[in-house]
């Protein structure tokens, strides 16, 4: 049974107060944590309606309380533009996490502290590392890990950032954060994971559409990280230069193979084997020694100074061993004539990809365009996902909320996906499928026998900030008519209501208004009872 499964709002607060009694946090930290919990409580009902994949409230609250209780031992609050805030300002971040110590340095506001708690949890549970057991291309592993860490933290703090208990608004502040969030929400929409299979999909020799999709995703993620992280950008540049050098040498195949075999491959192979044996011999006893030392040290340390994990040194040694073995496999691949052409092709593909990454990282306009083009691919696969589940009424109702959320994902401070001009054709295809099938399954009102009129009216539900779509009422007013030889053109006003007041009024031009199935000038519920 969950500890918090039966707790109401006051009891969540009481539980946090009990946890804080055993913490050495100062009063300002305790008060901020209590205020953070209140804001989560205040916005969660709306958040869980809007967010298609939101955790149940009890799960989210349990998670946050457990992080504070079990993983966090020190929190230091800082004010912007002070001496204490310089470490954050230097790296342009809202928090600094020492996962080993369970220590947080963070700006003194509720959103920032929730963000930092989620990041602490991800680091201590090695969320990213457990998903990626990739031994080659350190830049790849580090970039994906950093992307997941930040994107997951942005996503997790949304309940405070964008929901206040009254309204739903985009309050992401940094342009880079828009990019992290959009790509991560793409992954959530399509149930994508960044794991070893992901890497295989990128570098397969025969690039079919799914592989191109993953390649684009990978390129964008690397570009986003390279823009923010100079170290990873340098690693990518180093790898690119290495590939260029090797490809140049590989133009003379015979000479290239001879150089590898005669000038270092044998020595390198021997060296790797020896080092692997040494590591294999020391790893087992070392692990036991580390465990004993971990227990001994932690028994003497206060909670805030306790060492988080015994596995760090072991992991370092093990990853070094895997990296050496992988490098040996690569060298052997060069020496095998059967694999030479394949290796060369893969290297050419990687070289081309990394050149694109560097270019995108340095050109914001180009990167935005690449992200927009990627959304067309996302929408194509999302459409397939819908079409595979058209007989599932519950799924279609969920999709109404899911796609509304997607359309409202911000790409800049003042722009959302649903209003991006270059995506209108792709978005319209998905909307029409959703609208048509929701009408067929009697989920929503059939406003007209004309599919075009239905779309003209119902497309606006996907860009509304009304929290619960089931509360929406729509009123259609005729503004004027123009008689042509063979048809009548009508200008109408589509009003989207939440309770008493219209949230928005949209003007549309339609034909054959007589095909309406509802009365003009009357509020009609969107959802059928």
Residue ranges covered by each domain of the chain: 9-125, 229-362, 451-529
Instruction: Note the pLDDT of residue 263.
Output: 42
100, two tokens:
């080993």
Closest CA to 35 of 116, 144, 111: 111
Strand locations in 32-170, DSSP E?
74-78, 95-98, 103-107
Q: What angle do CA 521, 522, 524 make, to 5 degrees?
A: 135
Number of residues that this document lists for the chain = 529
Closest CA to 476 of 492, 454, 453: 492
pLDDT at 399 over 90: yes
Q: Which helix (H) or strand (E) holds 7?
A: none
Residues 6+ positions from 113 with CB-CB distance below 8 Å: 32, 33, 36, 75, 77, 95, 104, 106
For 494-514, what is the mean pLDDT? Answer: 89
Return d(Cα 422, Cα 212) in angstroms, integer: 20
Closest CA to 423 of 463, 457, 464: 463
Return d(Cα 201, Cα 225) in angstroms, integer: 20
Please compute, for residue 268, the number of CA atoms within 13 A of its CA located in the half-sphere on the CB side.
Answer: 16
Query: C-alpha dihedral over 393, 398, 399, 400, to 10 degrees?
Result: 100
Closest CA to 371 of 263, 517, 222, 208: 222
Neighbours of 428 (CB within 10 A): 12
Summarised one tens digit per residue, pLDDT across range 80-121 is 999 999 999 988 899 999 988 999 999 999 999 999 999 999
| 472-483 vs 488-498, strand pairing mode | antiparallel
Instruction: Note the pLDDT of residue 29.
Output: 96
Q: 478 forms bridges with which residues in the sheet?
A: 492
Summarised one tens digit per residue, pLDDT across range 154-195 is 999 999 999 999 999 999 988 899 999 999 999 999 988 766
Place of tokens 């929701």: 438
Return d(Cα 421, Cα 428) in angstroms, integer: 11
Closest CA to 136 of 336, 299, 346, 419: 346
**Better-predicted residue by pLDDT, 155 or 413:** 155
Instruction: Note the pLDDT of residue 420.
Output: 96
Distance of CA 83 to the CA centre of its chain: 33
Tell which phi-psi region holds residue 108, choosing left (phi > 0), alpha (psi between -120 and 50) or beta.
beta
Return d(Cα 309, Cα 233) in angstroms, integer: 30
| 103-107 vs 501-511, strand pairing mode | unpaired
The pLDDT-based confidence of 464 (bands split at 50, 70, 90) is very high
For 129-149, what is the mean pLDDT? Answer: 68
Mean pLDDT of the chain: 84
Summarised one tens digit per residue, pLDDT across range 197-238 is 555 555 554 334 447 888 899 999 999 999 999 999 999 999
CA distances from 476 to 252, 317, 461, 499, 513 (A): 73, 68, 14, 16, 11
C-beta of residue 154 within 8 angstroms of C-beta of residue 115: yes
């Amino acid at each position: 049974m969950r500890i918090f499964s039966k707790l109401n709002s006051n009891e969540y607060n009481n539980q946090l107060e009990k946890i804080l009694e055993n913490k050495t946090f100062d009063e300002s930290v305790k008060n901020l944590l209590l205020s953070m919990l209140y804001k989560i409580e205040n916005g969660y009902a709306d958040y869980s309606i809007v967010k298609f994949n939101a955790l149940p409230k009890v799960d989210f609250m349990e998670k946050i309380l457990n992080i504070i209780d079990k993983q966090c031992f020190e929190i230091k609050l800082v004010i912007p533009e002070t001496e204490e805030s310089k470490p954050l300002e230097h790296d342009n971040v809202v928090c600094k996490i020492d996962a080993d110590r369970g220590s947080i340095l963070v700006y003194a506001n509720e959103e920032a502290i929730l963000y930092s708690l989620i990041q602490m949890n991800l680091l201590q549970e090695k969320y990213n590392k457990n998903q990626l057991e990739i031994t080659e291309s350190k830049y790849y592993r580090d970039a994906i890990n950093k992307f997941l860490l930040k994107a997951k933290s942005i996503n997790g703090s949304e309940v405070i950032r964008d929901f206040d208990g009254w309204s739903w608004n985009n309050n992401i502040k940094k342009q880079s954060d828009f990019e992290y969030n959009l790509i991560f929400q793409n992954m959530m929409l399509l149930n994508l994971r960044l794991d070893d299979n992901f890497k295989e999909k990128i570098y397969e020799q025969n690039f079919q559409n799914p592989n191109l999709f993953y390649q684009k995703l990978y390129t964008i993620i690397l570009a986003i990280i390279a823009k923010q992280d100079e170290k990873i950008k340098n690693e990518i540049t180093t790898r690119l230069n290495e590939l260029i050098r090797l490809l140049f040498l590989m133009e003379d195949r015979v000479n290239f193979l001879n150089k590898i075999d005669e000038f270092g491959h044998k020595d390198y192979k021997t060296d790797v084997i020896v080092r692997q044996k040494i590591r294999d011999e020391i790893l087992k006893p070392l692990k036991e020694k580390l465990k004993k030392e971990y227990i001994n040290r932690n028994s003497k340390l206060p909670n805030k100074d306790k060492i988080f994990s015994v596995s760090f040194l072991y992991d370092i040694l093990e990853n070094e061993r895997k990296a050496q073995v992988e490098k040996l496999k690569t060298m052997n691949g060069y020496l095998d004539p059967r694999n030479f052409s394949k290796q060369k092709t893969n290297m050419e593909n990687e070289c081309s990809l990394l050149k694109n990454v560097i270019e995108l990282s340095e050109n914001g306009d180009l990167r935005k365009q690449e992200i927009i083009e990627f959304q067309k691919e996302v929408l194509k696969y999302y459409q397939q996902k819908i079409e595979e589940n058209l007989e599932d009424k519950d799924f279609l109702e969920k999709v109404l909320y899911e796609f509304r959320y997607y359309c409202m994902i911000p790409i800049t401070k003042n722009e959302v996906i649903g209003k991006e001009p270059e995506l209108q054709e792709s978005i319209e295809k998905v909307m029409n499928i959703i609208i048509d099938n929701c009408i067929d399954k009697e989920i929503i009102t059939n406003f007209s026998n004309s599919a075009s009129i239905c779309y003209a009216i119902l497309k606006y539900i996907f860009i509304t900030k009304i929290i619960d779509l089931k509360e929406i009422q729509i009123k259609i007013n005729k503004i004027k008519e123009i008689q042509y030889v063979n048809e009548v053109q009508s200008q109408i006003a589509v009003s989207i209501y939440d309770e008493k007041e219209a949230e928005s009024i949209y003007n549309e031009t339609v034909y054959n208004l007589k095909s309406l199935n509802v009365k003009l000038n009357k509020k009609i519920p969107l959802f059928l009872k």
